[in-house]
Structure formats: C-alpha cells, structure tokens
Amino acid sequence: MADPIKISLGGYQGPNSVHTYGVEAFCAAMRRLAGDAVEISFHPDITDTGRNAADLLGLTEGGTFDGCYFSSSYLAPRVSALTLFDLHFAVPDKAKAFALLDGEAGKMLADEVTAHTGFITLGYWDNGLRHMTTADRPLYTPADCDGLSLRILPNDNHNQIFQSLGFHPRVIDVKEVTAAVNNGDVDAQENPLTNTYNMGLSKSQRVVTLSGHLMGISLVLFNREKFASWPDHIRAWITQAVDEATTAQRARAQADEAQSKAAMLNDGVQMVELTRAQRLAFKAAVQPAVSRIASDISPALLKLFNVETGAAS
C-alpha cells in the first residue's frame, strides 16, 4: 500500500473562528473522501508559536504549509484585482457577491492570484461585514472620527481611506490586537462582529457603529507547485472538499454574526445604526480615495460587482 499523501494546513485564528471551523470542515470532508490515501495536519493558530499572522502567507507560499485561508486585503498589494474588496462604503450585496465569486468572476480573480503569486485559489470564504468600534462614542459622521487612532490591516488602501475620514491609522498584527485595544493603545478598531466579540475587543470598546464599510473575503489558498504535484484524484478530492467546506463556512459565518451581535447586546454593548444620510456622508468623504484605488481594477470586474465609485447619491 502506497504511503499517504501528507497535506499540512495553517491558520491564524482561535478555536471559535469561523475560519477554523471551515478548515475543520475541509479536513472532515477529505478524510471521508480520501480515507487513508491522505494524512492531514492542521495548525489552527500560528501566532501561538510567536509568529505574526501575516507570516502564514509566506510560510504557505514557501512550502512550510500546503494550504491556508487568508483575508484578501493582505494579498491586494500584490494582486490589484483583489482591491475590489478594499473599496470602503462601496460594498456589493453579499449574496450577489458570493454568486459571482462562485462563477466566472471568481475564476477571473483566481487567475490574477495565480499570475502574481505562488498560490492557487480554490475558494472564497465569508470574512464578515466590517464595522467600527470605539470605547465611548458613536461615529455618526466623519467628523466624529477626526483625530482618533484606529487599528487597521496592513494595507495601504485602507490607510488612505481611513485617513480621509480623519483617523490616524495604525497597523497592528492580529496576535497583538486584543492587548492593544484593551490597553487603550488605540481609540478605535474595525472588524467583523464575530472578531470583535470572539477576540474580546468589546470588553473595552463598548460602542459598535454598524458601518458595514467593507465585505470581508478570505481566500482558500494552496501552494501552487505542491498542488500541481499531487495526482489528479487527490486534486479532485481537495477541490470537492473545499467546495463542501465553503458552503459550511458561509452558513456558520452568518449564524455566528447574529450570535455575536446578540451576545454583545446582552453584555450592554451599544450598537449604533447609521441612517441612509449618515452612510452617504461617509461614502462622500472616502469617494476621492475610493476612485483612485478603483482605477487599478478591471472595469469588467467593477461592472460585474456593480461597484459604484462615483460621487455618493
């Protein structure tokens, strides 16, 4: 009997993460499909080894891990097409966006990732709508953001856009976010509700402005050379297992978002809904930066996702 093919996977979030759930769903599907033909290992959180979360991309591209998930925003500096998901307050409808990602648009984006990195993209996971949080004030208008320090992802586009709202952005790695927020090192942060709750950020940041300024997408990535080296039937099983895990992950993400919101409300966290006029004011404030950033994206992709980058209306 041939030795099993070893598949190693890495993550950067804890046991309550919808992404950890997604990888575990993938592993279960692979064990069902492939049986003893594969041997799968999964390190759920590389930050527990002292590494930064962002190191996972290099570790996977370099071959230490065979596969991982990662927020599209981290790859956008290398793959300009992924900037589509960095256009604040120009968020496409989530259901439509996933339908497009599961079809031709997803193939277009995957081809761009392949062209500019050492990865192959096999799926798109729900990384939540991102909202802004503060310790003691709602953010009803861009003026409310003026002068506040804000933790952001390591993405120059995010930096430009949040600066246009008056924030002083600070890049802080995932492993250091909880301490930075709860120690008061930053005045504000932005994350999906699940992260804000599961990472304990709402313990000190008690006001959530439901800005929904970005629809987060995570890519399911495999080392391209390693994936190509596996037999056809193994690659087919992996593709099927990712598809099954994607369905499970998206459903879990939707449920977890509702549960996290309910848990924070029960804990006394203030949830602030923006009116249409307030949202349009934010959109108008970031529009010049969004338009500059969108100029690097294929017009065909912008049209497919019905992204409006012109003046707010």
* Full set of structural domains in the chain with CATH: 5-304 (3.40.190.170)
Each residue's pLDDT, cut to its tens digit, for the chain (313 residues) gives 689 999 999 999 888 899 999 999 999 999 999 999 999 999 999 999 999 999 999 999 999 999 999 999 999 999 999 999 889 998 667 888 899 899 988 999 999 999 999 999 999 999 999 999 999 999 999 999 999 999 999 999 999 999 999 999 999 998 899 999 999 999 999 999 999 999 999 999 999 999 999 999 999 999 999 999 999 999 999 999 999 999 999 999 999 999 999 999 999 999 999 999 999 999 999 999 999 999 988 888 888 876 654 433 3
DSSP class of 275: P
Per-residue tokens: 193: 């509700």
Q: What is the pLDDT of residue 298?
A: 87
Q: What is the pLDDT of residue 311?
A: 37
DSSP 128-140: EEEEEEESS----
Looking only at the bridges linking them, the beta strands covering 188-192 and 149-152 are: parallel
Q: What is the pLDDT of residue 40?
A: 98
Sign of CA dihedral 216, 217, 222, 225: negative
Q: What is the pLDDT of residue 93?
A: 74
Residue positions counted in the chain: 313
Looking only at the bridges linking them, the beta strands covering 5-10 and 67-71 are: parallel
CA distance 101 to 95: 10
First to last CA, the chain: 65
CA distance 18 to 41: 18
Residues 189-223 as b or e (16 or more Cβ within 10 Å = b): bbbbbbbbbbbebbebbbbbbbbbbbbbbbbbbbb
Q: What is the pLDDT of residue 309?
A: 47
Contact 205, 270 (CB under 8 A): no
CA distance 114 to 56: 17
Which residues does 109 contact at the CB level (< 8 Å), separation at least 6?
79, 81, 82, 84, 101, 121, 301
Contact 189, 133 (CB under 8 A): yes
Per-residue tokens: 166: 């008056």
DSSP class of 4: P
Q: What is the pLDDT of residue 312?
A: 38
Per-residue tokens: 276: 């249409």
Tokens 């039937």 identify what position?
233
Helix (H, G, I), strand (E, B) or coil at 180: helix
CA distance 169 to 233: 47
Q: What is the pLDDT of residue 1?
A: 63
Phi, psi angle pair for 30, to nearest 5°: -65, -40
